Homo-oligomer: A and B are copies of this chain.
Amino acid sequence: MLTIGVDIGGTKVAAGVVDPDGRILDRVKYPTPANDPRGLADVVAKAVEELRGHHGEVRAVGVGVAGFVDEDRATVQVAVNLGLREEPLKERIQERVGLPVVIENDANAAAWAEARFGAGRGSDHIVCVTLGTGIGGGLVMGGRLHRGRHGVAAEVGHYRVVPHGRRCACGNHGCWEQYASGRALVAAGQDLARTDPTAAGRMLRLAGGVVEHIEGHVITEAAVEGDEGALSCFRTIGEWAGVGLADLAAILDPECFVMGGGVSDAGEFILEPIRDSYARHVSGRPGRRLAEVRLAELGGEAGIVGAGDLARH
């Protein structure tokens, strides 16, 4: 049995035919219509029909979307970047394509894909953490996706790591994503350049001398060259990421953590300080069996694979 997985992002709608082993057999991609719920459903329907033309045995459609999805996996309660509010996306798509449709938060879909076919395969208890601009997450526990009562579980980026800490766009202070996300990495690099230009010399040169141009890829590039200033930025962010994993381990006791998102592209430069910090901060030492910390394997396609596979179950 085949399904179609759709990943609705801020700029493009990517869809693919997914087989039971998590492979994508065929792909299409369209621009995301801005602030146009019906137009969005039209685009999804077009992508589905196009793929179905070549794969008649498709039986269901799964859709991942960057927003809060209700407990019936039918309505998008709010998706800020897409301009959706209380949008009956399942119904709209279903009436267009005549197949069963399931809607899911995109981070949840990606986490499910990693758990089934990626870095987490073989484990029943997985915490996926996406270190992107902010921090997102997905929980697979007892082999099932944990969505929470209202579909908003795994908002791990907004648990608090510092009382009275840095202001977060969510209105709170000290959220984890202010300390361990890609934005935090960039802030660390730019702070260093402002207060110690010598230590940040290599990054500054790669950024053309402009502090504001020190972005994630600049820091990674300098780190790859062995630059101590850039490595110190990764250590700072990794330290906080590890603190968060330790807290999540105390609460959830997973078998492994799967780390995705742009920051994870730095590979061992970020994984090593994360593992080191996690091992120092987790409770129950010595003696506790440590969860593994792995890199996500499916990259940008995890959303399609996960959405497709969730439609199957």
* A→B interface (CB under 8 Å): 78, 123-125, 137, 139, 141-142, 144, 146-156, 158-167, 170-175, 179, 187, 191, 194-197, 243, 246-248, 250-255, 280-281, 283-289, 291
Considering the chains assembled together, what is the distance between the CA atoms of A28 and B23 in angstroms?
58
Extra inter-chain contacts (19) besides given A152-B253, A155-B251, A162-B164, CB under 8 Å: A124-B149, A139-B251, A151-B253, A153-B253, A155-B284, A156-B250, A156-B251, A160-B243, A160-B246, A160-B281, A164-B166, A166-B167, A167-B191, A172-B281, A195-B285, A196-B286, A197-B286, A251-B251, A251-B252
Given contacts A165-B162, A281-B172, contact A150 B248 (CB under 8 A): no
Contact A141 B146 (CB under 8 A): yes
Considering the chains assembled together, what is the distance between the CA atoms of A78 and B284 in angstroms?
11
Residues of chain B with a CB closer than 8 A to A123's CB: 149
A68 — nearest CB in chain B belongs to which residue? Answer: B284
Residues of chain B with a CB closer than 8 A to A283's CB: 155, 158-159, 170-172, 175
A199–chain B nearest beta-carbon distance, Å: 10
Residues of chain B with a CB closer than 8 A to A195's CB: 171-172, 285-286
A111–chain B nearest beta-carbon distance, Å: 13
Contact A149 B255 (CB under 8 A): yes
